[in-house]
Amino acid sequence: MTQQFEIFVQNKPGDVSRIAEALSRNSVNIRGISTDLGPPRPMVRIVTDDDASTRSALRAANVEFSERDIDVVSLPDRPGELAKVTKVLSRSGINIESMFILGTHGNNVREIAIATDDGARAREVLSRYI
């Protein structure tokens, strides 16, 4: 299972830099990052290549964070693929709470990180799709 780290920030200059530096000092590679700086709690979401080292680095930097399970889905890099996946989840009554592209892998395949309100059910539904 892949983890998404939700790092709580104050929405001021240097927040993202402090996180990136803490991970860099611990040789943690960031695979994906997004920001959500609106209310009620500004946060930076990241997916890395090493959950244990990420956890350790954030604790050492005295940064407040939470974790959540995410699903990483590989999709062909062509129009309509994301629409298909999101429609399958929607029709199953599963809400997408966060999502972002992690990058390419192999022959033009996009990896998408998806956090939902029902991870076990999402994995079941997605396993039938992919």
> For 17-28, how does the pLDDT look when each residue is reduced to its tens digit (9 = 90+)?
999 999 999 999
Instruction: Judge whether residue 63 has pLDDT over 90.
Output: yes
**Average pLDDT for 6-15:** 93
Q: Is 38 exposed, middle or buried (0-12, 13-18, 19+ CB in 10 A)?
A: exposed
pLDDT digits (tens, 9 = 90+) for 100-109: 888 876 666 6
Output the pLDDT for position 107. 63
**116 and 96 Cβ atoms separated by less than 8 Å:** yes
Q: Is the pTM of this model over 0.85?
A: yes
Number of domains within the chain = 2
pLDDT digits (tens, 9 = 90+) for 33-50: 999 888 889 999 999 999
Do 8 and 62 fall into the same domain? Answer: yes
Do 89 and 105 fall into the same domain? Answer: yes
Q: Could you identify the residue written with the tokens 């033009």? A: 108
Output the pLDDT for position 77. 83
69 sits in the region (left: phi over 0; alpha: psi -120 to 50; else beta) called beta
Do 13 and 54 fall into the same domain? Answer: yes
* Domain boundary, last residue among 52, 68, 84: 68
Instruction: Judge whether residue 129 has pLDDT over 80.
Output: no
Q: What is the residue range of 105's domain?
A: 70-129
**130 and 76 Cβ atoms separated by less than 8 Å:** no
